[in-house]
Structure 1
Amino acid sequence: MTAFGKVAASDAPADEEWARPRAGTEEIEALQAEIARLKRVNAVLMDRVENDMSARGPSAFTLFQAAITLENRVAERTAELTSLTHHLFQQISERCAAEKALLLAKAEAEKANLSKTRFLAAASHDLRQPLIVARLYLDMLREHERGARGREIVGAIESSLDVVEDLVRALVDISRLDAGVWPAEISCFALAPLFERLRQDFEPQAQALGLRLRVAPTSLAVRSDRSLLERVLRNFLSNAVRYTARGSILLGARRRGEEVTIEAFDTGVGVEAQDIPLIFEEFRQAGSAPREGERGLGLGLAICERVARLIGARIEVASTPGRGSRFCLRVERAEAPQEPAPRREPAPAASLDGLCAVVIDNDRRLRAALATLLRSWGAIVVEARSAKAAVAALRAARKSPRLVVADYHLDDGLTGVGAVAFLREAFGGELQALIVSSDASEELRRHARAEGLNFLPKTAAPMRLRAMLNALAARGRGEEPSAAGAGR
């Protein structure tokens, strides 16, 4: 048993080693059979391809190669297009992100700009109020001052006030123009009346300085904003007077196709060619004024350039140092409209003596100054902060008002227009009224005109205020108002 068992145990490995080569041989044979089968299939396929190519002619193989080449190119271009598309999508994504950031930045800038505009408007109102008060008291002081030295001091103070008011007004105007909150009223009008107004205003000033101002007659008409166009031309003439020591100034207009060129020539100091762009920047001036104290603020032309863009006009400048300058404004031409000739009527012999007037203003100092000025003209004045307070004071004094002078911006969002309506309801609809404000914007003027009310800026000269109040008093008595009081 033992010997037999040993023999059996030793024989087992020999059987396994014999079986392994046999199994490998079977796999090899199977693979060889598969290869042989594939070769036969390949041979059959090749025969079919060759037969097909022989049947199609000698160009078939060339077409076959071209097809393979084209397929490779398509694959390459597809890969390039895929890469380019991915790159474009990435760029678009980056651009969208950049545009979004720009929009946010623009919104923030517009918000800041609007905030600046509101701040400057509020600041200008707060700054103008004490200036107006000072001017009113200064005018009353001038009436009582008899000495030459006293009048000289009053004149110096007035000049300083003028500079401060001009600076505040210019800063507010630039802010409103940059913010795009200054509406333009485009209409067609003849240039002749405007030229005549400019001649009347600037000729005395030019003559006092030994200059000759010539205004060429014109029959041309333009399509623009009347007041804004006048403002630009006034700046041109003001600069011409300021920077011309001797010689002449000429204002004229020419037709140039569908445009009109309005030109102001002077024989002044002139500007270097490289400095011309600088004169349209804020607080930038080129050259010096020939007379001491005539240097401007450096804001006039900056405002003119913005106004020109607003009304669709263009400014051109040509200048020769030492010989003079030419400032030109190109405006759209229009057919001359038929405008009625202004009536010239004698001023009525009206006065404020004994007339009851109401002054409504929420600024105590300005209200007191204006009331004092009206009393110096003979009026009986009731002053109040609001329309309700005015009605209460009038009823307590048993007075019936004939005139109302109301500030436009009152407390709690109320306006002088509403205050006048309240007083008219209490004392009759024939009550004459004047709206005054340190905000002389065109929107405010239009609102006052729409309500049938006269408007006057608080910065207007006291004599202009007196003339307008006299005209309103005459109208209240049933007399014809004069041209002096018709300025709404």
Structure 2
Amino acid sequence: MKIFTTEKYSDDELLLIESEHRKAYLKLFKSTLFVQGLFPIVLCFVFYSLISNTILFGWLSAILFTTLIRGYLTYGWYKANFNINQTRMFEGLSLILSFVAGCLWGMTVLIVDFNQYPEASVFLNLIIFGLAAGSVGIGSYWFAYFLVYNIAVFSIYTLGYSIAMDEPHYLLAISILLFLIFMIQIALVFHRGNAQNIWLIKRNQKLAENLEIKKKEAENFAASRTRFLASASHDLRQPLQALNFFLSALYRELNSDKGRELYIKLEKCAEGMNELLSSILDVSKLDAQIVTLNREACSVGSILDNLKQQFQMQADEKGLKLLFHSSDHYVYTDPILLQRILSNLISNAINYTNNGKVEVLLTHKDGLLIEIADTGDGLTEIEQEHIFEEFYQLNNPERDKKKGLGLGLSIVKRLCQLMNIPITLHSQKGKGCCFSIKLPLCNAPVLLHEAPKYSLQQYTENKKILVIDDEITIRDSLSELLSQWQCQVIAAESASEACDMIQKQQFIPDLIIADYRLREDKTGVDAINQVKKLLNQEDLAAIIMSGDTEPKRLKEVALSGYKLLHKPVKPAHLRMLIQRQFM
């Protein structure tokens, strides 16, 4: 089934277009079989009394037989499942029968005398021209079929009106010839248009399939990355958690200045690891979509004061000026997430600025515009396109841990999207960077009473705490720390061991602290529930500690309803949370 087109398709594309054209032709031809059989019968009724019955019924038999054979070939073609050899045979036979049908319809101009029966001839011409116009639809898929049929019909008609009649009708013959040329042009346009449409549809389908494949590959990569980060993070958090607890317990045992100096250096190393793992945790929380917004009227000045205290020493160590504009304004947003965004931006500015200053600017214009500007090296346009991507870092081939993992700005971007905060970047190579975010202003909240102040020395003394963790270093370090806080502690590696110890020692805990991931596919939630059931105390306070950053795990912990602390837990944070359980 040759494609008549000026487009340059590949061999595979031509085969595809031919196959689709063939299917469309067969479907369309089947729908016209009834009409092709009906019109000859109608003509016989009209011309029954005008011409010889022998000629009339002979013509009718021939045209109906041809139509039946063509119909049989059509259905047989379907059953052949488009086998190449059989397809070529069907195409050849169909073209021959199309030519025969065209000749039979064309012969009607010789059967009916136009001069003797003008009205009947006009009716005949209407049917002939109607069938020709209807064949354009088939020609749009199989152009050769259209040509063979119509050239056969109108060649005989043209000759009949110009030569075969006693009184030739040259003008009518020329009109028929012009009509044929016009029909061929229309059919060719439709034919090429269908070929182009089929090519576009198939190409789009292929692009969509490729896009879906790439999407799945990206999703699988993201899932693999998340699983890797979760696994690596969990394995790193376990010993680091024990290190934090041991460090806190060790400090009281240090008596010399040298020992305290070494302790401070060791604590800084641990704090650096904490920050790196916290970045991974932030990404995992965003992936798990468990970061919730708690918008409220928050003091910009208070947040900036906290940030100044947090980064002043780091800026001083690098010889940088750290400048903050003062503000007594309030903005309506989540204060914790806002501080996280600003913290990441300021940390990034200090890390990549070697001389000069880092400045936090405030501008009031349809809200509050907060800008973090630095005098660092700045960014090229290409670097600006990638700066918010995960793990993207500049000028850190040695992977200096002080510059983080390259997650800070990625976290900023995702938090801004979550909070619906616009963030912009203006930078020029050699002239520093300026990140800006815009927040809605609001009125200061009305304070009904002063918030109570809690002391770290209260509430923990003589409290009975059950620790469940399958890591012995965590159990030992946490038990030592809790003991220094004047708590009574028992530690177990599983829920069953904890239940045995409770029964043997008659130990009724006031609080349970459990690791989320235990052995034998058990979880801290399972362990807490088992202890609660044993003691028949549904309201027993409990805290989950987890080193997992996998989004699925984070969702499971969030659904449990228990207080969650992410390893490595700072002792001060743990003590504050324990206090609040007993208030």
TM-score between the two structures when normalised by the length of structure 1:
0.70
Distance in 1 separating the partners of 2:575 and 2:251: 16
Cα deviation, 1:344-367, whole Å, max 9, x if unaligned, reads 324355354443211012223212
Secondary structure in structure 2 of the residue aligned to 1:47: coil
* Displacement of 1:96: 2.2
Q: How does 1:85-100 map to 2 (within 5 A)?
A: 85-100=194-209
Does residue 376 (structure 1) correspond to residue 376 (structure 2)? The answer is no
Q: Equivalent residue of 1:280, what SS?
A: coil
Match of 2:169 in 1: 49
Determine which structure has greater relative contact order: mean sequence separation of CA pairs < 8 Å that are 6+ residues apart, divided by chain length. Answer: 2
Give the distance between the partners of 1:248 and 1:269, measured in 2 at CA.
9
- 1:347 lines up with 2:454 in the alignment: yes
Q: 2:378 maps to which residue?
A: 271
Q: Residue 185 in 1 paired to residue 292 in 2? A: yes
- In the alignment, does 2:418 pair up with 1:298? no
Residues 143 and 165 of structure 1, relative CA distance in 2, 3 Å threshold: same
CA RMSD of aligned residues (A): 4.1
Deviation at 1:300, TM superposition (A): 1.5
- Equivalent in 518, 532, 537 of residue 428 of structure 1: 537
**Aligned match of 1:196:** 302
Match of 1:250 among 360, 371, 379: 360
| Distance change (3 Å), C-alpha of 1:345 and 1:452 | farther
- For 2:209 and 2:394, the matched residues in 1 are separated by 41
> Displacement, 1:78?
0.8
Any unmatched runs of 5+ in structure 2?
Answer: 1-158
**Residue 217 of structure 1 corresponds to which residue in structure 2?**
327
Residues 188/214 of structure 1: CA separation in 2 closer, same or farther (3 Å cut): same
Question: Of the candidates 179, 190, 211, which is equivalent to residue 81 of structure 1?
Answer: 190
1:69-468 matches, cutoff 5 A: 69-171=178-280, 173-174=282-283, 177=286, 180-186=287-293, 188-192=295-299, 195-203=301-309, 205-206=311-312, 209=316, 211=321, 213-217=323-327, 219=329, 221-222=331-332, 227-242=336-351, 243=353, 249-252=359-362, 254-256=364-366, 261-266=369-374, 268-274=375-381, 275-277=383-385, 279-286=387-394, 295-319=403-427, 325-330=433-438, 333=440, 343-347=450-454, 350=458, 352-425=460-533, 426=535, 428-429=537-538, 431-439=540-548, 453-468=562-577
Cα deviation 1:26-64 (Å, max 9, x = unaligned): xxxxxxxxxxxxx999778362637xxxxxxxxxx4x97
SS of residue in 2 equivalent to 1:262: strand
Indicate the SS of the match to 1:344: coil
Deviations 1:228-276 (A, max 9, x none): 44321111222344437555633536343xx65332345x435145454
Q: 1:468 to 1:445 in 2, by over 3 A?
A: farther
Q: In the aligned structure 1, how far is the partner of 2:198 from the partner of 2:540? A: 72
Output one character per residue of 1:117-153: Cα deviation in whole Å (capped at 9) or x when no partner: 1232122112211111122222222221222332233
What displacement does 1:113 show?
A: 2.3
SS class of match (1:144)? coil
Cα separation, 2, equivalents of 1:409 and 1:420: 12
Give aligned-pair identity as a percent: 25
Distance 1:452-1:345 versus aligned 2 partners, 3 A rule: farther
Structure 2 distance, partners of 1:216, 1:69, is 87
Cα displacement (A) at 1:294: 5.7
**Does the 8 A contact of 2:272 with 2:402 survive in 1?**
no
Counterparts of 1:41 and 1:454, CA distance in 2 = 98
CA distance in 2, matches of 1:297, 1:449: 26
- Structure 1: gaps spanning 5 or more residues: 1-38, 51-60, 476-480, 482-488
Deviation at 1:176, TM superposition (A): 6.3
SS in 2 for 1:92: helix
Per mean C-alpha deviation after superposition, the further-off stretch among 232-241 and 124-133 is 232-241
Q: Is the 8 A contact 1:361 1:406 kept in 2?
A: yes
Paired positions, count = 416
Q: Show the counterpart of 1:29.
A: none
Alignment of 1:468-487 (within 5 A): 468-472=577-581, 475=582, 481=583
Say whether the 8 Å CA contact 1:188–1:335 is kept in structure 2: no
Q: Distance in 1 between matches of 2:538 and 2:331?
A: 40
Distance (whole Å) between structure 2 residues aligned to residue 185 and residue 334 of structure 1: 21
CA contact 1:269–1:324 (8 Å) conserved in 2: yes
Q: In 2, distance between residues paired with 1:443 and 1:341?
A: 40
For residues 136 and 228 of structure 1, do their structure 2 counterparts lie closer, same or farther at Cα, with a shift above 3 Å needed? same
TM score, norm. by length of structure 2: 0.60
Distance 1:41 1:436, change over 3 A: closer
Structure 1 residue 311 displacement after superposition: 3.9
The superposition leaves residues 390-415 of structure 1 with CA deviations (integer Å, 9 ceiling, x where unpaired) of: 12101101222222212233345544
